[in-house]
């Protein structure tokens, strides 16, 4: 049970932090003309594919006792996993939000402006129209984090009762030859992903009728 | 008595290195239904977008009630005195009511006054049954009527219509035409109507400007332009020979 709770806790907080930063940044980039943010966009797209072990390595070096943040003694704690996963989710949420906002930008902006919206009002309207895809960005980020094992193992250490999460437990049980346990955990992971996706899509506020 | 509501002076619009509009002078009189006709790609939509201040001209000036508005200061105030219905209506992903309320809400109207005006406009266009329906689920004709209600409710002085019936069935097209005629007569709106349809131009407009490859070829009172076009290109278009 602790494993499931820890998975949800670490990935949930990480995706929340990544969204708190990534949604405003993605919106801002999406509203600017594409040619003006070309470099930023290319960097974000590259980071969206960042291998988790690389993010893990980076955070490991930063948090290890000889690293610049070593004094914080965060390595092999859940907070180290949160930092690594936030780094992983941030470009995903930012990039997908930017794409979502940009895809609505032209036609919605023209309509809003023609109806008398100010620059601010039309930007707000674009975000509201893109909400479905922005929720999609958050769900995608959460999905990637829940399924991720490389970074959490490196900076969390897979310590039982402390930093062991579902994916790292599956790796361990498989190595031990406990395939039933591994498969069971895998099913729990899938069911959780399904429930989370369903809940988030409920939140989207599609008009009734 | 004639009074210009909008004037274009030495207007040029360039996309890349291509001039898509080059209009020396074009005047829109108050209270008129002014038709813009011309083949596809002749710059009609671009012209409307410039008049509605959605697009900036590359050179030249635009006057609204004699005041230069191409300088872009006070854009919002001027823009709120105009409104445009696009060829393909874009509905906000919410109810019909909220779509029609949008223009009033951004102007700061709230509460019962807002509700009454929206309901009245919905009624005028026969949309009161659809008030709570999701706007994205409307048929093409209904959506175009909502798009019209959405601009009429803001009481614009000038109404821009970009081929408003080109995607509609005859019934809805007739409904939109009747609406345009009545707001022009009863509410005194000035209308700029872009159309492909010579018959629609004949039915609705007082004045016609013929645009060809970004240039104003000729203009005049609708019956004259349709009966005795002076330019061969206008004549071909009016006869229906122009491929578009
Ligand atoms: N944003 C744009 N970028 C580049 N070219 C454009 C743009 N908008 C319109 N054009 C070009 O300008 C010309 C006039 O277009 P438009 O005003 O839509 O014509 P019409 O409405 O008469 O069919 C066309 O050749 C079109 O391809
Ligand atoms: Mg057009």
Residue A193 is predicted with a pLDDT of 87
pLDDT single digits (tens) A192-205? 988 888 887 776 65
Residue A199 is predicted with a pLDDT of 80
Distance separating alpha carbons of residues B160 and B53, to the nearest angstrom: 12
| B52 touches A: beta carbon within 8 Å | yes
In a domain, B141, yes or no: yes
In a domain, B197, yes or no: yes
Residue B136 is predicted with a pLDDT of 93
Residue B74 is predicted with a pLDDT of 80
Whole-number CA gyration radius for chain A: 19
Residue A207 is predicted with a pLDDT of 45
pLDDT single digits (tens) A155-186? 999 999 999 999 999 999 999 999 999 999 99
Distance separating alpha carbons of residues A161 and A78, to the nearest angstrom: 11
Can you give the pTM of this predicted structure? 0.83
In a domain, A209, yes or no: no
In a domain, A176, yes or no: yes
Residue B73 is predicted with a pLDDT of 74
Domain that holds residue B62: 4-239
Nearest Cα to Cα of residue A181 among A168, A193, A169: A169
Q: Check residues B2 and A78 and name the one with the higher pLDDT.
A: A78
Q: How far is the CA of B86 from the centre of ligand 2 (A)?
A: 9
Q: What is the ipTM for the molecules in this complex?
A: 0.91
pLDDT single digits (tens) A31-59? 999 999 999 999 999 999 999 999 999 99
Residue A105 is predicted with a pLDDT of 82
Q: Do B90 and A208 touch (CB under 8 A)?
A: no
In a domain, A43, yes or no: yes
- B47 Cα nearest atom in ligand 1: 17
Residue B76 is predicted with a pLDDT of 92
Whole-number CA gyration radius for chain B: 18
- The mean of the pLDDT values for chain A is 91
Shortest CB distance from A114 goes to which of B52, B94, B132? Answer: B52
Residue A197 is predicted with a pLDDT of 80
Q: Which residues contact B21 (CB under 8 A, 6 or more apart)?
A: B11, B12, B13, B43, B46, B47, B50, B57, B214
Strands of the sheet containing B215-221, edge to edge, are B67-68, B59-64, B4-15, B18-29, B215-221, B207-212, B33-37, B190-194, B158-162, B82-85
| A107 touches B: beta carbon within 8 Å | yes
In a domain, B122, yes or no: yes
In a domain, B135, yes or no: yes
| Burial of residue B13 (number of CB atoms within 10 Å: 0-12, 13-18, 19+) | buried
Residue A209 is predicted with a pLDDT of 40
CATH number, domain with residue B155: 3.40.50.300
CATH number, domain with residue A159: 1.10.3720.10
In a domain, A74, yes or no: yes
Phi, psi of B180 (to 5 degrees): -65, -45
In a domain, B156, yes or no: yes
Shortest CB distance from B90 goes to which of A111, A117, A128? Answer: A111
Domain tally for chain B?
1
Phi, psi of B48 (to 5 degrees): -60, -40
In a domain, B170, yes or no: yes
Distance separating alpha carbons of residues B216 and B60, to the nearest angstrom: 15
Question: B16-33 burial string, b = 16+ CB within 10 Å, else e?
Answer: eeebbbbbeebbbebbbb
Domain that holds residue A196: 2-203
CA distance A111 to chain B (A): 7
Phi, psi of B30 (to 5 degrees): -65, 140
Q: Do the beta carbons of residue A151 and residue A53 sit within 8 Å?
A: yes
Residue B243 is predicted with a pLDDT of 55
Domain tally for chain A?
1
In a domain, A134, yes or no: yes
Give pLDDT tens digits along chain B (244 positions).
578 999 999 999 999 999 999 999 999 999 999 999 999 999 999 999 999 999 999 999 999 999 998 776 788 999 999 999 998 899 999 999 999 999 999 999 999 999 999 999 999 999 999 999 999 999 999 999 999 999 999 999 999 999 999 989 999 999 999 999 998 999 889 999 999 889 999 999 999 999 999 999 999 999 999 999 999 999 999 988 765 5
Question: B221-232 burial string, b = 16+ CB within 10 Å, else e?
Answer: ebeebbeebeee
In a domain, B153, yes or no: yes
In a domain, A152, yes or no: yes
In a domain, B146, yes or no: yes
């Amino acid at each position: 049970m602790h494993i499931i709770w820890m998975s949800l806790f670490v990935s949930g907080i990480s995706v929340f932090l990544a969204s708190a930063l990534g949604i405003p940044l993605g919106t801002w980039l999406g509203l600017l003309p594409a040619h003006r943010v070309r470099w930023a966009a290319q960097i974000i797209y590259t980071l969206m594919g960042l291998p988790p072990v690389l993010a893990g390595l980076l955070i490991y070096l930063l948090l290890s006792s000889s690293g610049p943040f070593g004094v914080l003694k965060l390595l092999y704690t859940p907070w180290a996993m949160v930092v690594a996963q936030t780094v992983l989710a941030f470009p995903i949420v930012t990039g997908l939000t930017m794409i979502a906002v940009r895809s609505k930008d032209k036609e919605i902006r023209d309509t809003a402006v023609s109806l008398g919206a100010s620059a601010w009002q039309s930007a707000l309207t674009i975000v509201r129209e893109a909400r479905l895809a922005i929720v999609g960005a958050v769900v995608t980020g959460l999905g990637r984090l829940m399924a991720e094992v490389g970074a959490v193992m490196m900076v969390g250490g897979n310590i039982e009762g402390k930093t062991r999460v579902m994916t790292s437990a599956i790796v361990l049980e498989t190595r031990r030859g406990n395939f039933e346990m591994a498969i069971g955990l895998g099913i729990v992971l899938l069911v959780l992903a399904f429930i989370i996706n369903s809940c988030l899509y409920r939140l989207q506020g599609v008009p009734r009728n | 008595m004639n009074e210009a509501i909008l004037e274009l002076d030495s207007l040029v619009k360039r996309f890349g290195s291509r001039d898509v509009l080059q209009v020396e002078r074009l005047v829109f009189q108050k209270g008129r239904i002014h038709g813009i006709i011309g083949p596809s790609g002749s710059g009609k939509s671009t012209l409307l977008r410039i008049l509605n201040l959605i697009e900036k001209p590359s050179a030249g000036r635009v006057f609204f009630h004699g005041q230069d508005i191409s300088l872009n200061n006070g854009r919002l105030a001027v823009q709120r005195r105009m409104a445009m219905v696009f060829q393909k209506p874009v509905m906000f992903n919410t109810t019909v009511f909220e779509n029609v309320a949008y223009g009033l809400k951004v102007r700061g109207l709230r509460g019962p006054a807002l509700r009454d005006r929206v309901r009245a406009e919905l009624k005028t266009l026969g949309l009161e049954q659809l008030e709570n329906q999701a706007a994205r689920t409307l048929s093409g004709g209904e959506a175009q009527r909502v798009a019209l209600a959405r601009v009429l409710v803001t009481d614009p002085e000038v109404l821009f219509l970009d081929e408003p019936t080109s995607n509609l069935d005859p019934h809805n097209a007739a409904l939109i035409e009747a609406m345009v005629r009545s707001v022009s007569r009863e509410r005194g709106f000035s209308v700029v109507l872009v159309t492909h349809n010579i018959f629609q131009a004949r039915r609705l407009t007082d004045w016609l400007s013929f645009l060809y490859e970004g240039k104003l070829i000729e203009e005049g009172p609708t019956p004259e332009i349709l009966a005795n076009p002076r330019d061969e290109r206008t004549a071909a278009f009016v006869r229906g020979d122009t491929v578009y």
